[in-house]
Structure 1
């Protein structure tokens, strides 16, 4: 069964990102097409670019980078929970992407974005060229969570059935891309 790594993008105490991660994790398990793991960037706590060599060398000297490398390398697909901060990508997510190189390549990435005015779409627009530069294949459709609509008066996340169906369709598409990219990778490796 292919492995899906759900990546949070926020590290602030009291963040809504943990509720988004729990919701998406439940939907991914219910979907059943992937072995699912969550990479909570707050728990992983990667320092900012503290490796002396460029990530493309893969010569990591720090245990935290080696653990992050192993987690990303083991994944067959990624689902980034893209929070938008000040019309852009969060610093912890950019750092987590930039910390590695080859581990991302040849794998699909989907997005569930959230935020206020653009529901996180501006963050996705900034993440996508980074994902392409790292060799990932971004899916075209994004599930958006406009926080003014999906938070109830008590501040609890309530995305609703329509958005849950959107995540299910996104997971289906991720599964298709994972299968195709896996076959492409096998052909490329066998021709070497």
Structure 2
């Protein structure tokens, strides 16, 4: 069965990402032909990148890197839930991505972003990173506005149309994850 990881890309206290990630998971788990798992970066306690060798070499030394590598390797694709901080993604998500290389290769990725402008600038940066990691980023994305999808900028109340956009994103992530399976089996 195809496995998709939903990565909560913020570790900030009081973050909106946990509620957004839970919403993505609740919508996603209604599908019976795919397995989804919520992956919270808070659970991995990754320090600032502390590996001696470049991730492309695959010579991970640190126990936290090995645990993270096993988790990411277990998925066929991803939905990354990202805030937009200073026109980009969070440092925590970028750091978590940078720890690994081959575990990301030939997998699909979709994005659910949030911020004052819907987090779209964070996603544009993540698309560039995905390309370098040989990931297939899907076209559809969910862009949640702090003004219209949150109450008081902190209580998540997505507009009804956002679920349709999320389902389109999930459809694409699943389809591309399955299409890339032959490349991962080599």
Determine if the TM-score, normalized by the shorter chain, exceeds 0.5. yes
Determine whether 1:170 maps to 2:157.
no
Distance 1:177 1:166 in 2: 17
Deviation of 1:74 (Å)? 0.7
RMSD: 1.4
User: What whole-Å deviation, never above 9, does each CA across 1:53-80 have from its counterpart, x for those lacking one?
Assistant: 1111111111110010001111000100
Count of residues in correspondence between the two structures: 186
SS at match of 1:6: strand
Determine whether 1:22 maps to 2:22.
yes
In structure 2, what is the equivalent of residue 67 of structure 1? 67
Change (3 A) 1:147 1:57: same
In structure 1, what is the equivalent of residue 178 of structure 2? 179
Distance 2:138 2:148 in 1: 24
Change (3 A) 1:130 1:153: closer
**Contact preservation (8 Å) 1:119, 1:147:** yes
Deviation of 1:154 (Å)? 8.5
SS at match of 2:141: strand
Distance 2:171 2:43 in 1: 28
In structure 1, what is the equivalent of residue 131 of structure 2? 132
**Unaligned stretches of 5+ in structure 1?**
none
**Contact preservation (8 Å) 1:33, 1:175:** no
Question: What is the TM-score with the length of structure 1 in the denominator?
Answer: 0.92
**Contact preservation (8 Å) 1:141, 1:170:** yes
Question: What is the TM-score with the length of structure 2 in the denominator?
Answer: 0.95
In structure 2, what is the equivalent of residue 108 of structure 1? 108
Which structure would you say has the larger Rg?
A: 1
Deviation of 1:153 (Å)? 4.6
Deviation of 1:184 (Å)? 4.1
Q: Which has the higher helix share?
A: 1
**Contact preservation (8 Å) 1:31, 1:171:** no
